Structure 1
Amino acid sequence: EQFATTDSSGNYLISGLIAGTYTVVVDATSLPAGVTVTGDPDVTKDGKTTVTLTAAQALTTANFGYQGNASFGDYVWNDLNGDGVQDATDLPLSGVRVFIDLNANGTREANEPFATTNASGAYSMTGLAAGSYTVAVDATSLPSGASQTGDPDVTKDNRTAVTLTSGQALTTADFGYQGNASVGDYVWNDANGDGGQGATERPMSGIRVFIDLNANGSRDANEPFATTNASGAYTISGLTPGTYTVAVDATTLPSGTTNTGDPDVTKDGKTSVTLAAGVPNTTSDFGYQGNGAISAIVFLDRDASGAQTSGEPGISGVTVFLDYNGDGIRQTNEPQTTTSSTGAYGFTGLIPGNYSVVVVSATLPAGVTQTADADVTMDNKTTVAVTAGATNTTPNFGYQGNASIGDYVWIDADGNGTQDLTEIPLGGVVVYLDLNSNGTRESNEPFATTNSSGSYTINGLTPGTYLVTVDGSTLPAGSTNTGDPDATKDGKTSVTLASAQSLTTADFGYQGVGSIGSSIWN
């Protein structure tokens, strides 16, 4: 029986035949193990066919097809960190062609079988016969800028050799590629809620930002992420070109925060970005406003009691800041405020955490000594805890001045405005500093009451100009101001104090309307 053996291209030829009828048969013993005939010139799939030759005829229709029962695959992935290992958060690469490189030239030819990775990065070449194959990735189908980092063998050349046995399903022909695109880069505490990154707004650390592959708003185990560092920065790198949904993991945000800064118009903590090869995208910044606050006061602690009591006003114009790095010196990125006319100050929009509150001593009035601090150390600073939805009102700072005003109120019996030797003091009269110049003593306005000697002293004051005023409601009925430090007899006068000055010229005389008299006789 005549025979021929197929060449490397699967072709065979039995020549020198005369006209006649022949049965052409495939020798099953020469077939690879496990194959099944699937192509036969006649309807019966039995590996043989009958042909009739005419003289000099070259018949080329006796073709036979066989399907193997072996396969290989199965995965091509975006190796984000370039370690060559399929990590849980590495991404699949879809649309990549993997082929059998029959001529081992690294380029897919039209006759070379291939498979294309699906959305999960999986591929499979099935129906193969037992044997050795070169499995290769078609580089023209890879994303732009991708570099190979994972290969079944030690050589990163987009291909590997595999040997299949009958019925084997080989799943180790996996290939990893790292992209050169990235997305970032900042999450911050948008304290004023304006959506802009203010120079004094605090970065937010420990916040997870992830690629939301299924757009469900929650981070799943397979979704790549990065965590913001102490500077609020993050980068998800090694990505391939494409469109991604970048989202903030809400479970890592401080309690009580609201998204106020978002790259798109919708404040939902996520945004869509399109990445190009080799181009870092640094526009995915997110701002969050907290609902915590600090509200307190800087006050004149005249009696050095450590607490603000009646007659102790706030100190205006004092700078207070949040000392993020704890060095006691205000940096340009640290928020500051100035106390109001009542000494009040505050910081709003804060996220939960501990804050170091510092008074800038250079902005305090000259000559003051600290007497009140939220902690036991008089060092112009204190650390307070801010919780979600609450206002911390404890960081009050008190300072005692070293200046004073006095000192005498008397009965000016003759009404000449001069303290005569025979004129008596007026006790029980309240003298106060009319801070708002409204002529009525308020609870925060410093005061003193004349003693039985007519003397008074308002001490613990800071340098400045004060309107010293006699509280008319504490004067004897019918009395008239006749002695006043200035020319106007109105029971008040303006004085200017220097640091450590003891001013004793604010004296007031009052003439009564009563008299005593009768006769003396022998």
Structure 2
Amino acid sequence: MKRLHVFAMLIMACFWVLSGYVQAQEAVGTGSIGDHVWYDANHDGIQDPAETTGIEGVSVTLYSSSNPTVAVKETATDAQGRYEFQGLADGTYKVKFAKEGYSYSNPSAQESETDTYGMSNDVSLMGGRQERGVNGGFYRTRYIHSVIGNLVWNDLNKNGVQDLGEPGLPDIKVKLYRLKMIYRTADIQNLEDYDRCFDFVAATRTDVNGNYAFGGLCPGVYFVAIEVPDGWAVSPMFQGTSDEKDSDILPRIQHSGWISMPEGREGLSVDAGLFQIQACDLVTIGDMVFFDTNHNGIMDCDEKGIGGVVIKLYDCTVIPLDGADFTSLNRRHCCGYKVAETVTDLTGHYEFDGQLPGEYCVEVCLPDGFRLVPRPNCPDVCNPVPETNMTGCMMFNACTKNMDIDFAICSDNKLATVGDLVWKDSYYDGIQEKNEAVMKGLTVKISTCDGMTIGQTVTDANGKYSFANLMPYTWAHYVISVAAPAGYEGTYYGEDGGANNSDLVYQALYTNCLTLASGTNNDIDLGLHYNSALVASIGNFVWRDDDADGIQDPREPGIAGITLKLYECSCTCKCPTLIGDIRNEVEEFYCQDWECGSTLVATTTTDADGHYSFSDIVPPAEGKRYCVQIVVPSNYVLSPYHRGCYDENSDFYPDTKSTRCLWLEPGYQLDFIDAGLIPSIPNPGMVGDFVWNDANQNGIQDNGEKGICGVTVELHACDGGATVATTRTDENGRYLFSNVPTNTTYYVKFVLPAQYEFTTQNSGNDDGLDSDPCPEKGITSNFTLASGQATMLIDAGMYLASCSVSNYVWNDVNKDGIKDANEAGIAGVTVELFNCSSNSSVASVKTDNNGLYTFNNILVDSYYLKVSVPAGYVLGQSAMGSDDGVKADFTLEGQSTCFEVTKGAASTGKPIALIESTSGVDGMGGTPTTFALSQNYPNPFNPTTTIKFAIAAPGMYTVKVYNLLGQEVATLFNGEMNVGYHSVVFDASKLTSGMYIYRLTGNNVMITKKMMLNK
């Protein structure tokens, strides 16, 4: 029986071994293994200085390395995350860590001894070794999430406590921020640290009852911020005895202190009381910074305020930390945290307006070399500490204005003055030229580099401006800007770097940040250049729509004197666009419907032809909508909207008398916005008929004499001479005034074209065929228009005015370019007359026996002459005399300058001086005896111009073009050149507008001139 019992025990032992339930025999020794498990916030397997939190309750199991499936010992980490296995025999072990909801850190890192499954490397214990380096880094993968939230309410009595009857505020935006992983709460030392240490998490809006909540939050450190609506303020913080009823938001910075949020915390209450601001809820703080020359701390009559001094206002309220319980306080930055910053104006005054009541201190920022002077009879709290330049904390009660916080400054250094000139840079090179105009009456402003305005002035009659008594900071502090007329921008920064260059940023209206030294800095010049691409325009035509069809017909004239107004458009229907995260928070709106707004931009009237224009409109770069309204006279109604072709119809709605809203961007030119007006006259009359070319000048319309197109005709009322209507003759010379008010006396005025004269008035016996205006004034006799009457007999005859062009070609014996009495004319020389506008030949003649050339029946216009120089002669030089009738005025190629042939004037041609070629030439013909470089022609030019020059000795020569930086932009000639007169053509089609220099060089000669490319 005993043998059977032993056998059964052996079988049972085998079963236990095979089943894995036999626990290893625990050997007894003196060795130990232990240390800690920590929260690895950044998952890198390294315990960073900020990672001090141990993890409690981690399961720790000890295994023999030879049998890692059978536990030797088990334990769990304590509240600090520490563990220890004692009494271990010599051997090699492994440690495994595990906790639900956590994952193991990077196993390749040095300080986390676990693999991806939480098992450590082998740990060898020999001779009773005490191993304290088996650590585990873990991070959380599953949380019991927390909630932050509660109420934003209307604190009607402004006491910071939620009282009965005070309602919640709906639709208030609330934001949540969380401490970044790389920071600890100890890093939050002042207000600026909030921006640096926290990340935005989420935003929401309060519901209809003023409640809000942020759920699903992981453990961490947070703060809550409130977007306070305009006209509202935050109530006092931590008032009353109940944390559930007070306001937890700092009034001036509008967010809470930091909140330590543990795992699974529900319903943490962060409330905000808001109230509507009244005038007496606020305080004003400020006054003066002055230069105390006698160091007595008092501003005497001859002492000046200092402009541009930076003043900072600090709130002495401490910032609460650990907002979960709000039990601790943050250290303060100097005397508090900064709530506002300003700068003294040109008189030294400063002001912080609209501040909430409370304790504040003020700091003045001074450069090296400037120091504070104590003020007499001032409590210590208002005298700034010299080491910090800050006052003490002072209480400011509601509805007060304390304008007695003064700072007396002394120094061995002088204050700064800055200024100089604003000018129009016509050459667009950034350099002041003598003939460039100054710009008077422009507002110039000086500000700090971060945009705080110090003051402004206006340029005087010489374009000068100046700012005096400024603080000479040793760093870049000031910016100067100019309010330029529409379309102007900053020119190039002057390359000479001297006192005559422009200091504006290119294409801007402000300078770079300036450092002003002590004393006078009168070299900050502001050059402005007009750029049409910066502005836009709207305009075109208002016409009389006689047939009321809404379409511009050829015989329908423009209407003068009609008033039009330009308005900005406004949006009448804003539709929401949902953006952001899953909360579908309404952040932006887009405009669906636009209408003419009430913001008037400009007013204009139509000219004599019915045209109008709103020019130099400056829309923002992203564009804006505008509309035009027309003031319709009482005797007109608007034509139908948008009939016929796009550019010949009426663009104004008859009911609103305005256009649709028109999109404008810089550079846009909307020159097709027209308006048709239909006369609303009972039984109107008509006036009209014919303007013709009276070729034989007899004052009668003969067969074959044609009408003249485009002559302006005006209908005037005799009572005051007001212009009733204006029109132009059509292609047949006909004109018509329809819808003319009747029972009124009128006269008609014809505007004489430039080349015409009026013919004889009232010739012959037929009133339907004669000319009715008097030649001297172009107006007819008065006539009365009866009801429904048509007066169609008002005609005007005109003829082309002609003149003669003549002068002499002579042998200029003394080569002075002036015809002397003893110098004979030259017969048989061909002279040709050209029209300057068309460059076409008008006529060609030869000189008579006296050298006289004559062109008869020449119409009024602009002309030039060309002479064919006969053999044996060369063209003489142009004279410098004052009598144009006797001096020569021709180019090297025998072409004169343009001259005008005018009506009624004794027009004379250009005298032409010729020199016998055998006589030794030193003029403009033959062989030049001196080097010369002519002014290019035309100048300004676009894109080509001709450059002429004279070479007096053979040799190697170059003709080159340079920009104002001295950089070569073109070589026009480079090689050998013989004696004579030469020319080259410069093509600047690939260059930008501006001033250029051209230079003739060679044979110890260098001649330079300027030319202007104007695209």
The TM-score normalised by the length of structure 1 is 0.36
Q: Which has the higher contact order (CA 8 A, sep 6+)?
A: 1
